[in-house]
Amino acid sequence: MSSASAFDEIREQVEIPSLEIDFAAARNKDYCELVNEINPLHFDQEYARALGYKDIVVAGIFTASLFPKLITDWLGGQAVIEKMEVKFGSPAYLNDTVTYRGRVEKKVIEEGAKKLECDVWSENAAAERLASATILLRFQERV
């Protein structure tokens, strides 16, 4: 569906166009520098392995940042995110290519406001689910 989609044209259970990102070492390093990362789990392989992980774990705040982007890539400025509940399951590791997917679960109209509830999730190249979220959107247009 194009970014020109309007609320009325969106159907429940429709899939949101997926988004793919490679959490390559350079990208992870740039992000760690941007946030002045202090948790060695996100940049120190030895530390991560001592905790039982197979490699550096990409920060949850970084991986979860792509959930809102999945929505804004799809709808542009037509809707704003009101709420996002995200749960982290398996970690995304350094150099993982992660695909973000989603589906419209519910369309509602509350006090004239047009809203969508979407289930979104991320998965690695082995199709293992890494994190999932529920996102509530409000369209700028009103009934």
Closest contact distance (angstroms) between CB of 19 and another protein is: 8
Q: Exactly one of 1, 14, 81, 113 binds another protein (CB under 8 A); which one? A: 81
**77 touches another protein by CB under 8 A:** yes
CA distances from 20 to 68, 82, 100, 108, 124 (A): 13, 24, 6, 29, 10
Question: In angstroms, what is the minimal distance from the CB of 76 to another protein?
Answer: 8
Check residue 91 and report its DSSP letter. P
Q: Which long-range contacts (CB under 8 A, 24 or more apart) does 73-77 make?
A: 73/3, 73/17, 73/19, 74/1, 74/3, 74/5, 74/16, 74/17, 75/3, 75/5, 75/137, 76/3, 76/4, 77/140
Interface residues for another protein in 83-122 (CB under 8 A)?
A: 83-88
Residue of the chain from 4, 38, 126, 127 that contacts another protein (CB under 8 A): 38
Residue 14, interface with another protein (CB under 8 A)? Answer: no
Residue 18 in contact with another protein, rule: CB under 8 A: no
75 contacts another protein (rule: CB under 8 A): no
Residue 45 binds another protein (CB under 8 A): no
Q: Which of 2, 4, 13, 36 binds another protein (CB under 8 A)?
A: 36
